Amino acid sequence: MRPKPLLALASIFSIMLTLLFLGSFFFAYTEQTVYSASTEYVFSIEYHDDDTTYSSFISMWTDLNSWENQSNQKTLYYHYHADSTTIGIWPITAHETTGIIETSAKIWLHPPRSGHLEILEYFPFPEIKKATNKKRFYRYFIGNCDFLNKWVWLKYRMVLSDAMEKIYWGQKNIPVKTLQGKARTKEGEWSVLYYYNEQMGFVYWHYNYCDKIIIKLKLEKIIPHDLNSF
């Protein structure tokens, strides 16, 4: 028969392991490290192609509700400012609802993909995995590309910077990590570049489709968000 003191210690140890596991699970899936429902992120947009060049603004915010049936994703909102809704021949919906994953381990989110921004569906989405040694990896897309009216196969070789770099933002230098990737096709090269700051999230997004279309999103300001709005 096991001595009672040892049995008690075994029980305590088992309880501690259970609490540790549940605590780490809860922490990983509930902690908001950057994006919150009370904060709105305003981006400038620059769009360039052979026929069109324009600039405008888009706002982004989130809440704690799950996005549709995706229990691991929170709802992410994009609001296109008034001058963005009828640019050239591309009508854009005023609002867009999608999803974001934010845990203590990673941040991953959908970019805006309405109207002329639908091509962003075919680039790797903004994603940062924290405390990882994996600096090089691949992202794939294969399927029907509505933008090109044909099936495409894209294999992006992604590279995450080893160290922080400094960029100029809002009259000061801020530390960022860079995430960039390229995919080569018969048409040319698709490339993507993200700058990520630990306090403000993704502050710069740059997309290049074969030098035919270039799209840039730059975080211009962070403001309080009215929780009673859309």
In this prediction, residue 212 carries a pLDDT of 95
Read off the pLDDT of residues 153-185 as tens digits, 9 standing for 90 and up.
999 999 999 889 999 988 899 999 999 999 999
Question: Does 83 reside within a domain?
Answer: yes
In this prediction, residue 36 carries a pLDDT of 86
* CA–CA distance, 37 with 60 (Å, rounded to integer): 10
Count of Cβ atoms closer than 10 Å to residue 47 Cβ: 21
Whether 206 has a pLDDT exceeding 50, the answer reads: yes
In this prediction, residue 89 carries a pLDDT of 47
Whether 15 has a pLDDT exceeding 50, the answer reads: no
* CA–CA distance, 102 with 75 (Å, rounded to integer): 11
Whether 119 has a pLDDT exceeding 90, the answer reads: yes
Whether 22 has a pLDDT exceeding 50, the answer reads: no
Confidence at 29, pLDDT banded by 50, 70, 90: very low
Domain count, the chain: 2
Query: Are 125 and 16 in the same domain?
Result: no
Average pLDDT, the chain: 83
Query: Are 48 and 152 in the same domain?
Result: yes
Mean pLDDT of 72-93: 74
Question: Does 230 reside within a domain?
Answer: no
Query: Are 127 and 198 in the same domain?
Result: yes
In this prediction, residue 28 carries a pLDDT of 38
Query: Are 24 and 42 in the same domain?
Result: no
Query: Are 119 and 70 in the same domain?
Result: yes
> Higher-confidence residue: 110 or 116?
110
Confidence at 16, pLDDT banded by 50, 70, 90: very low
In this prediction, residue 10 carries a pLDDT of 47
Query: In this structure, what CATH number is given to the domain that contains residue 183?
Result: 2.40.360
In 3-state terms, what secondary structure has residue 122?
helix
Question: Which residues have a Cβ under 8 Å from the Cβ of 107 and sit 6 or more positions away?
Answer: 33, 34, 35, 100, 101, 126, 127, 128, 196, 201
Domain that holds residue 24: 1-30
Tokens standing for 190?
């698709």
Half-sphere exposure of 8 (CA within 13 A, CB side): 3
Mean pLDDT of 69-98: 77
Confidence at 205, pLDDT banded by 50, 70, 90: very high
In this prediction, residue 174 carries a pLDDT of 96
Query: Are 128 and 23 in the same domain?
Result: no
Query: Are 42 and 154 in the same domain?
Result: yes
Query: Are 23 and 39 in the same domain?
Result: no
In this prediction, residue 209 carries a pLDDT of 97
* CA–CA distance, 21 with 219 (Å, rounded to integer): 37
Whether 17 has a pLDDT exceeding 80, the answer reads: no
Percent of the chain with pLDDT over 70: 80
Query: Are 23 and 42 in the same domain?
Result: no
Give the range among 1-10, 48-57, 79-88, 197-206 with minimum mean pLDDT. Answer: 1-10
Query: Are 12 and 76 in the same domain?
Result: no
Query: Are 87 and 126 in the same domain?
Result: yes
